[in-house]
Structure 1
Amino acid sequence: MQELSLNVDFSKEISHSCVKINKKRSCYKNKWERGVELDERLPHLSPFLAGIITGFVMGEGSFYLKIGKSKTCKSGYQLTPGFKINLKKQDCKILEDFRFIMNCGRVNYHRNSVTYCVEKMEDIFEVIIPFFDKYPLRNIKEQDFQYFKIISYKILKGEGKTLEGIKKILTIRDVMNNGGGVNRKSVAQIIKRRKFDEHKL
């Protein structure tokens, strides 16, 4: 597993968050870039129940990054950090309970499976990250979570709005989840194409 230093000064890169790719696009700022403070919304759980949830996520959960086209970012693309748990369809009650406890996210039903996923920025920063900071994972997914946090906060600060920022974020993503599956596109492939059909990377 590659090591990644967290002691990096991104202030210079963040200051160039809007590149001149499409002059007609305005530079959209999320509410946190405009100065709104994060407000943690941790569920009120006993340590026992929190431990059960953490253990379950260690086995079945994952953190990921999704990329898609955007009309509000000057780069033309939008990065979305996400958290999900995928189970067989007959286990849907578990994920419905999970959604109720966390009070965020949605449960998506597929033909043979069901997925609980969280992609809203508010929910990632105010629920998911604070929860796993307070109740840390104890296996390899703890390292994935730390990379996920770096990616999420870089996106929060606007770094995912430039092609250079996207390259850096995707480089971090490449060491998550054991390098990803066979369908994951490399940074070189994505940047070369400059054409992102919305998909999970």
Structure 2
Amino acid sequence: MGCSPIKAVRELGSERRETVDTLSINLAICWNIRVSRTTHRGVRLDVYDSDNVTGADNQQERLDCYIAGYVDGEGSFSVSVQRNSSCRVGFQLLPEFHVSQNADRAQVLELIKARLGCGYIKANSKTDRALVYVVRDRGALLGRVIPFFERNPLLSSKQTDVETFASIVRAMARNEHRTDAGFARLLDLAVSMNGGGRSRKVRWKELVALQNPQRLHARQGS
């Protein structure tokens, strides 16, 4: 992978001081506290410091901690809604994971893409020099992105979005979004992500109501 994750953190520089702080905290917690949020079980330090773990394993875990910290600062888990007449309710939900970075530091996005083994990198816009690493394929989200962040949970409140995002994507894999009640439930979950926001909720619900007024009153099991 070239340089170590710790060196990569330092090379991000003062422009991204807030992100660097987040990464440093993540690395410190990963290596000094060793607590798994998914199992609520402490991991013994001596196991990781012994010969039972190879240098490659150590480096891989450091890399995963680095990626989790970077995504905590610069990543986003979101679900947008788009009009689609071929869908039963007239709209579709589009889950997306993306991470942004300045074009002169594209190697960070390449590193994340290589580790997750999916997605693509593109320019943010014609007028924005930033690059964005994007994963929209539902199979990749289910098989690679979501499991990675369940093994390497974020430390900020953004972890709540990760968990909601995972619930939505897995529900869609079960085709729950194809019913009025299921779509309504998942739409409400999607609106709650990234801090919610009254204007966002009103805009989405008004949009759907134009096509299907009764949908707003639908609830799972009704």
TM range (shorter): 0.5 to 0.7
- The aligned amino acid for 1:150 is S
Identity %: 26
Q: How far apart are 1:153 and its partner, in Å?
A: 1.3
Deviation readout 1:131-182 (Å, 9 max, x if unpaired): 0111111111111111111111111111112333222111112221111595
Superposed CA RMSD: 2.3
Distance (whole Å) between structure 2 residues aligned to residue 87 and residue 180 of structure 1: 25
Structure 2 counterpart of 1:158, from 159, 175, 178? 175
Tell whether 2:104 aligns with 1:87. no
| TM-score (normalised: structure 1) | 0.67
8 A Cα contact 2:81 2:204, kept in partner: no
Structure 2 counterpart of 1:138, from 149, 155, 159? 155
The answer for the alignment partner of 1:78 in structure 2 is 92
Distance (whole Å) between structure 1 residues aligned to residue 110 and residue 133 of structure 2: 8
1:110-149 aligned at under 5 Å gives the runs 110=125, 111-112=127-128, 113-149=130-166
The answer for the alignment partner of 2:49 in structure 1 is none
Distance (whole Å) between structure 1 residues aligned to residue 185 and residue 205 of structure 2: 11
- Residues 73 and 192 (structure 1 numbering): CA distance in 2 closer, same or farther, change over 3 Å? closer
Deviation readout 1:76-95 (Å, 9 max, x if unpaired): 33222111112223222221
| TM-score (normalised: structure 2) | 0.61
- Residues 108 and 69 (structure 1 numbering): CA distance in 2 closer, same or farther, change over 3 Å? same
Structure number with bigger Rg: 2
The answer for the alignment partner of 2:211 in structure 1 is 194
Unaligned runs of 5+ in 2: 1-56, 213-222
Greater helix fraction, Structure 1 or Structure 2: 2
- Residues 186 and 69 (structure 1 numbering): CA distance in 2 closer, same or farther, change over 3 Å? closer
Deviation readout 1:58-101 (Å, 9 max, x if unpaired): 11111001223446532233222111112223222221222122
8 A Cα contact 1:77 1:161, kept in partner: no
The answer for the alignment partner of 1:103 in structure 2 is 117
What SS does the corresponding residue of 2:192 show, helix, strand or coil?
A: coil
Count of residues in correspondence between the two structures: 152
Distance (whole Å) between structure 2 residues aligned to residue 89 and residue 162 of structure 1: 42
Structure 2 counterpart of 1:58, from 64, 72, 86? 72
User: Bigger CA drift: 180-189 or 100-109?
Assistant: 180-189
Q: How far apart are 1:188 and its partner, in Å?
A: 2.6
| Higher RCO structure, 1 or 2 (CA under 8 Å, sep 6+) | 1
8 A Cα contact 1:129 1:149, kept in partner: yes
